[in-house]
Amino acid sequence: MSWLQRHIRPEQIRELSLLLLIIVAVLFFGSMIDGYYTSRTFNRIVSSIAIITIVAVGQTLVVLTRNIDLSVGSIVGCTAYAVGTVLGHYPGISPLLAVVMAVALGSLIGVVNGALVAWGRVPSIIVTLGTLAIFRGLLVDLSNAKTVTTDSLPPWLVNLPRLNMFSLFGLDIPALFLMSVIVVLIFHLGASYLSLGRRFYAIGSNPDAAALIGLPIRRLVFLAFVLSGSLAGLAGFVTLARFGNITVESGRGLELQVVAAVVVGGVNIFGGSGTVIGAMLGAIMIGTLEQSLYRLQISEFWRDAILGLLILLAVASDAVILQRLRALWGRADLKYVAPAGKPSLEGAHIP
């Protein structure tokens, strides 16, 4: 136990168990569906989760700070549509510039959310529930509800979903999926090895203490929303590439899947704990379900019901099991020992 306690934290156990759950799910589907273990199944799953994953990373940062961003679906829609339209008019634009545009636009929208939450002091659920509607409405009005269609897009973009970077054990790794993995890695390292990253955890873990030691809480919350926005923007670009045809409805309802991924991934809905990797695992879990269920004879309509149950289980396990684990870990408590270099005072010890 003590070895366990030293080297693995409850949170990591949480993630390992999710990984286990995914494997179980895959084995289950594999046993139920013949021809399940094919590169296409793999391709389906990874390319379907690319979008959710990228958005979930941003969502994780926001949730860590005890907030939530429900407007991501609308941000994805807006950026996908805007970038699509621009590329429609100027097909010459370089891929890099297109991505930059998407990210920039996304973060710009994120600024609105961030400012309202951080300085407007409006609870994030209210702000983003509102902007969820506002951004969508603006998109419909400003675009006159026109549609971006594949034919107007440059070929490199239309073909991007088919572009495989390399293949692993005969499984092709699509560029878009690779992109999402890179995003996850970058942000995971940032969250665990940058002081900045740790501060997101700090302010979510105990805002009062954070304020007392002078952490710039408002600025950090603001930053979290901007990052969430910019990643949603990036996801918007991926959406554009993947679906090609972008109606003003694009991305509607995505926020639910993303929040689901984050919660299932073990990010505490009330801030302070959870990891980016966990969020990705959550996304993979959801993607696997989504892409596998309809291949069973039961209809794909079971997906949402199961997803709802998953979220509940995730939260419940956090509340009940994780508390137990933490209590267990917490026992590793203080002992009074001889102060370094000084003779022993008294070796009293608290059980």
Partner 1 sequence: MTEPNAAFKSTIAPTGVAATSERRSVLETRGIAKQFDATQALDDISLSLYPGEVHALLGENGAGKSTLIKIITGVVQPDRGEILLAGDRVSLRSAADAQLAGIAAIYQEPLLFPDLTVAENIFVSHQNRGAVVRWARMYQEAEAILAELGVAIDVRSPARGLTLAAQQSVEIAKAISLNVRVLIMDEPTASLSAHEVAQLFKLVRRLRDNGVSILFVSHRIEEVFEIADKVTVFRDGRLISTRPKSETSPQRSIADMVGREMGLLKPRPLSPRGDQLLSVRGLGRDGAFEDVSFDLHRGEVLGFGGLIGAGRTDVGLALFGIEPATAGTITLNGKEVTIRSPREGMDLGIAYVSEDRRQLGLSLPMSISANITLPMLHQYLDRFGLIRHDKEQATAEAFRKRLSIRTSSVDLAVAKLSGGNQQKVMLSKWLNTRPSVLILDEPTRGIDVGAKAEVHAIIAELAAEGIGIILISSDLPEVLAMSDRVLVMREGRAMAIFERKDADQETVMTAAMGQSSAVAGEVAA
Partner 2 sequence: MRKYLVGAVGLATVLCIGGVASAGDIAPGKAMDMVLLPKFLGILPFDQAHQGAEEAAKELKNGKPLQFLGPTPENSVAGQIEITTNATTQGVAAIMISNNSGDQIVPAAKAAQAKGVKVVTWDSPIPSADGEDVFVAQVDFTETGKVMADMALNILGADGGKFAILSASPDAANQNAWIAAMKEALKDPKYAKLQLIDTVYGNDQSEASYNQANALVDKHPDMKLIMAPTSVGIVAAAKALQDGNLCGKIKVSGLGVPKEMLAYAMNGCAPQFALWSFVDLGYLTYYTAYGLASGAIKAEEGATFKAGRMGDYKITKDPTRAKGLRVLMGPFSIYNKDNVEAASK
Partner 3 sequence: MTVLGRLKSWEGLLLAVLVAVVAMNVVRSPYYLGVTNIANLFQLEIEKIIVALIMTLIIINGEIDLSVASVMGLSACVLAWLFQMGTPLPLAIIAGLLSGLAAGLFNGFWVAYVGLPSLAVTLAGLIGFRGIARILVEDRAIGGFPLWFNTMGQQPVLGPMTASIAIFFVLFAIIVVVLHRSALGRLVYVIGNNAQAARYSGVRVKRVKMALFAASGVVAALAGILYAARLGSVRGDMATGFELDVITMVLLGGVSIFGGSGNLVGVGLSILVILNLRNGMGLANITGNTQTSVIGALLILSVLVPNMAQVLQSSWKGRNT
Single residue of 193, 302, 312, 313 touching partner 1 by CB under 8 A: 193
Cβ nearer to partner 3, comparing 183 with 259: 259
How many residues of this chain bind partner 3 (CB under 8 A)?
Answer: 45
Find residue 172's DSSP bridge partners.
167
Is the Cβ of residue 35 or residue 253 nearer to partner 3 in the bound state? 253
Among 12, 206, 247, 317, which residue sits at the site for partner 2 (rule: CB under 8 A)? Answer: 247
* Residue 23 binds which entry of partner 1, partner 3, partner 2, none, CB below 5-8 Å type-dependent: none
Count of positions on this chain that bind partner 1 (CB under 8 A): 45
121 contributes a contact to partner 1 by CB under 8 A = no
83 lies in the site for partner 3, by CB under 8 A: no
Q: Which is nearer to partner 3, 11 or 318 (CB)?
A: 318
- Chain-centre distance of CA 20, in angstroms? 19
Nearest to 188, CA basis, from 61, 82, 311, 101: 61
> Would you say the C-alpha torsion 228, 230, 235, 239 has a positive or negative sign?
positive
Smallest gap, in angstroms, from Cβ of residue 128 to partner 1?
23
Long-range contacts of 141-150 (CB under 8 A, 24+ apart): 143/81, 143/85, 143/248, 145/248, 147/245, 147/246, 147/247, 147/248, 148/80, 148/81, 148/84, 148/85, 148/88, 148/240, 148/245, 148/246, 148/247, 149/244, 149/245, 150/244, 150/245
**Judged by CB under 8 A, which stretch of 100-108, 113-121, 151-159, 218-226 contacts partner 3?**
113-121
Nearer to partner 1, 89 or 342 (CB): 342
Spatial distance between the Cα atoms of 287 and 15, rounded to a whole number of angstroms: 17
Distance CA 240, CA 80 (A): 5
The answer to whether 168 touches 108, Cβ cutoff 8 Å, is no
Q: Which of 96, 61, 53, 344 is nearest to 222 (CA)?
A: 61
Residues making contact with partner 1 (CB under 8 A) = 5-6, 9, 192-196, 198, 201-202, 204-206, 208-214, 268, 272-273, 326-327, 329-342, 345-346, 348, 350-351
Residues making contact with partner 3 (CB under 8 A) = 116, 120-123, 125-127, 129-141, 248, 253, 256, 259-260, 263, 269-270, 299, 301-309, 311-312, 315-316, 319-320
